[in-house]
A and B are shown apart, each in its own frame.
Chain A
Amino acid sequence: MRAPDLAVIENGAAIVPEDIALEIYRRICRTRIFEEGLIKAVKDGFVTSPVYLSSGQESIAAALSVAVPGPVIFAQHRCHGVYLSYGGDPVKLRDELMGLPTGTSGGRAGSNCVQCHENGVAMHGHHGLIGENVPLAVGYALASKKSTLAIFGDGAAEEDYVLSSLGFAATHRLPVLFVCEDNNLSILTAVETRRSWKVSKVADAFGMEAEDLSDDPWTIYLKAKELVKKTPALMNIHTCRANWHVGVGTDGPAEWDRFSDVRNALKGAGLWDKAQAIEGAERLSMEKVWEQGQLRRLSGK
């Protein structure tokens, strides 16, 4: 059943080492605050291409990036959180979204196709066909034997080629961690309208370790650290998209608000002062990224 506390480890924020808990929070803040600036830039007309926001789901990439550093990454269209958490340059992402030659793909590709091949990050760009990244990740792992991360949505999990890629990875025992960001939606169609089965059960039947859990970052961190040693493995993580499928609007409050839960957990763990300092620093640096005068100059508006 879908629930915010599904398989969540209690007091996770206090169990993980303090520096790790705070680093995860820093990365959560980076995505959330970057996208706050982006939402405003869209409303102000500085970004006109379609945007796929990670807000609401940002704890997943933040926790994964700390637990599983340095994999070859194949993400799906909703990829700002993955890019930023793994260390992608926010300025280059902003420029990509503005269609500038200084963007991650020279401004040619946009929000759903972000790549990063610098600063020790190996993230391959998506092209917009949902689930295409999963067989590519499996083939990459087959050929390179490198630790590979395939991140996709609950809709993508239904694609023929995604399912058969899971089977192939299981057969060949490939070093792929599959992470399904299960926000219960394919655009606006809920999982229950589309299928009766769970991707975790399918992965299990293929013979790989698979878990259903909620998007509590401390739980994701602790479990991903274990599962990445046993790849191929799959995590189906229940989460909530805060904004529209594409675009910056909202359809009322999401089922749960992980960002607030995370803050409360940090308070409970006695880390609130340090967390606030981190959030403040992120806010300051993201304000520079989205500074109005600069946007005006860059966009010529």
Chain B
Amino acid sequence: MLLGESISAVGWVNNTVPDAPNIVELPMTDVAGAGIAVGAALAGRRPIFVVRFQDFLILNGSPLIFYAAKLKDLHEKSAPIFVRAIAAEGIGPVHSGVLHSLFMHFPGFRVASPMTPGEYEEVWRGYMDNDDPFICSEHRASYSNKDDLPDEIAAGADITIYAISSTRFEAKKAARLLKNEGVRCNVVNIVWLKPFTLTKRITEPLKESRIGLVVDPGHEIAGASESIAYSLMINTGFPVKALGLEDRTKCLCQPLQNRAPEAGRIAEAAKELLAGTGRVFT
């Protein structure tokens, strides 16, 4: 069962939804719509709830946060809804947001941000293997991506860049920019935001480089980048900085769009961090 607004008439959600039975065209009712989807989850249907722009999660939030995510702790029941929360960039103050941090903050959710076909499958399995409400933080930038985007580990790396969602494409570019300037760089992908597990894949590169940078397309303050940087820092004892959006509105036009960190900005942030350590690069 899939519920959402304007599914069939508007391009089948960027062609990510097949013309299949059990598609429910919701009226434009963003609060009740989420409640209806959570009700379907309660009834055991494992519904997919499509949110065309992540900013609308603020409206959908009440049934998701206050009902679905609290159900287990309160009543030992579950409402396993799969929320396809789609992010975009450059289309104004309430259509360009990345809000997965909000759902990391509240208890009761699983949160992941897949960018590759394989990761989407992995994330779906993660949802089906559990009974928690699931926030799948999608990004339109992932829909055209067919590549695997593996971690990049450089021998004797100077810094480890942890990248989330759309910034993964930019982090790879930043690593190339840095390499040209003599800075060796690990790029480690973060797909699973909550629970966030400090596996060896994640911590080992930082123990080598001894300095890290977490990049996220959402707001930096109290966001995924700060939260994960903190976990990494406490766990390894090495300094890790967060890089997300500046603390201002994403306006419609440039230069006021406050876009997700792009390669140049990531590289600059990395160099600033390294300058603080006094290391010299040639």
Q: B29 at interface (Cβ–Cβ under 8 A)?
A: yes
Q: A109, B27: Cβ atoms under 8 Å?
A: no
Q: A109, B251: Cβ atoms under 8 Å?
A: yes
Give A193 Cβ to nearest chain B Cβ, in Å: 5
Give B64 Cβ to nearest chain A Cβ, in Å: 15
Q: B94 at interface (Cβ–Cβ under 8 A)?
A: yes
Instruction: Tell me the residues in window 52-101 of chain A with beta carbons closer than 8 Å to chain B beta carbons.
Output: 99
Q: B92 at interface (Cβ–Cβ under 8 A)?
A: yes
Q: A108, B252: Cβ atoms under 8 Å?
A: yes
Q: A108-B251, A128-B92, A129-B94 are in contact. Are A159 and B29 (CB under 8 A)?
A: yes
Contact among B8, B28, B59, B256 for A158, CB-based, below 8 A? B28
Main secondary structure of the interface of A (DSSP, over half): loop
Contacts of B27 in A (CB 8 A): 155, 158, 186, 194-195
Q: A24 at interface (Cβ–Cβ under 8 A)?
A: no
Residue interface mask A152-183, B partner, CB < 8 A = 1:
00011011110000000000000000000000
Contact among A112, A158, A159, A160 for B92, CB-based, below 8 A? A112
Question: A188–B12 Cα gap in the complex (Å)?
Answer: 12
Q: B93, A159: Cβ atoms under 8 Å?
A: no
Residue interface mask A240-263, B partner, CB < 8 A = 1:
000000000000000000000000
B62 to chain A: closest residue by CB: A160
Q: B253, A131: Cβ atoms under 8 Å?
A: no
Q: B10 at interface (Cβ–Cβ under 8 A)?
A: yes
Q: B9, A189: Cβ atoms under 8 Å?
A: yes
Q: A108-B256, A159-B29, A159-B30 are in contact. Are A193 and B9 (CB under 8 A)?
A: yes
Q: A186, B256: Cβ atoms under 8 Å?
A: no
Q: A188, B9: Cβ atoms under 8 Å?
A: yes
Q: A186, B94: Cβ atoms under 8 Å?
A: no
Q: B273 at interface (Cβ–Cβ under 8 A)?
A: no
Q: B13 at interface (Cβ–Cβ under 8 A)?
A: no
Question: A186–B28 Cα gap in the complex (Å)?
Answer: 8
Question: A130–B56 Cα gap in the complex (Å)?
Answer: 10
Q: A129, B56: Cβ atoms under 8 Å?
A: yes
New A-B pairs, 19, CB < 8 Å, besides A160-B32, A189-B10: A50-B92, A108-B251, A108-B256, A109-B92, A110-B252, A110-B253, A112-B92, A128-B94, A155-B27, A156-B28, A158-B27, A158-B29, A159-B29, A159-B30, A160-B30, A186-B28, A187-B9, A194-B25, A194-B27
Which 10 residue pairs of A and B lie closest in terms of their CB atoms, listed nearest first? A99-B253, A188-B9, A110-B252, A158-B27, A108-B251, A128-B94, A194-B27, A155-B28, A160-B31, A189-B9
Binding site for B on A (CB under 8 A): 49-50, 99, 107-110, 112-113, 127-131, 155-156, 158-161, 186-190, 193-195
Instruction: Jot down 25 A-B pairs with beta carbons below 8 A, ordered by A.
Output: A49-B253, A50-B91, A108-B253, A109-B93, A110-B92, A110-B253, A113-B93, A128-B95, A129-B55, A155-B27, A155-B28, A158-B27, A158-B29, A159-B30, A159-B31, A160-B31, A160-B32, A161-B31, A187-B6, A189-B5, A189-B8, A189-B9, A193-B9, A194-B28, A195-B27
